[in-house]
Amino acid sequence: MGAKLSYNWMTEAGMKRDEKLVPMPAEGRRRSGRVQEDRIIDPYKHIQKLPEPSFCRQCGAVYHAGRWQWSPQPSGAHDVLCQACHRINDKYPAGVVTLTGSSAAANSVELTRIARHQEASEKQDHPLNRIINIEENADGIVINTTDIHLPVRIGKAIHRAFRGKLDEHFDEAGYFVRVNWHRDD
């Protein structure tokens, strides 16, 4: 089959009055910009936009103007469950912060306070970014969160306060992040 021809718009813009359009094969044409991979999305995120306004029956967040926010429940709001509450109910975190080492055991109250402070600060503008739970075990402290941004913020705040070694690992195939912090005194 013959090559499909299309006109190059760039040559048309710089043409002189008596020049003719130069046909270019479609498959050989360059495209401006770069190819971007599809971003991995949260499997708990609603695929379609919610009807507005919507109200989370569990946490009280309101979906309005295309985003979740803290505001009073509007009259006639649709009763839904936000993705953060859904994750909390399923006990299925999107992020995990693991704090280990002798310093984690010695400063567990302060580390927990820093994590809760970061959650409160983040949650003011982003109601879906929350801590699911904080567990202390023999190895240290494990903090489970509903999103992938809060664990990084918690890890960096703890690293600023206590130094130590901080590692962040984003899952290439899914919506998940693991942040590890370790410090021995």
* Cβ burial, residue 159 (10 Å; 0-12/13-18/19+): middle
Tally of domains within the chain: 3
Q: Are 140 and 177 contained in the same domain?
A: yes
* Cβ burial, residue 90 (10 Å; 0-12/13-18/19+): exposed
- Residue closest to 129 by CA, chosen among 140, 142, 139, 143: 143
Q: Are 159 and 151 in contact (CB under 8 A)?
A: no
What are 16-38's pLDDT values in tens digits?
Answer: 555 565 555 555 554 444 433 45
pLDDT of residue 172 exceeding 70: yes
Q: Are 99 and 178 contained in the same domain?
A: yes
What are 89-113's pLDDT values in tens digits?
Answer: 999 999 999 999 999 999 999 999 9
Q: Are 139 and 160 contained in the same domain?
A: yes
Q: Are 78 and 141 contained in the same domain?
A: no
Q: Are 118 and 59 contained in the same domain?
A: no
Residue ranges making up the domain that contains 99: 93-182
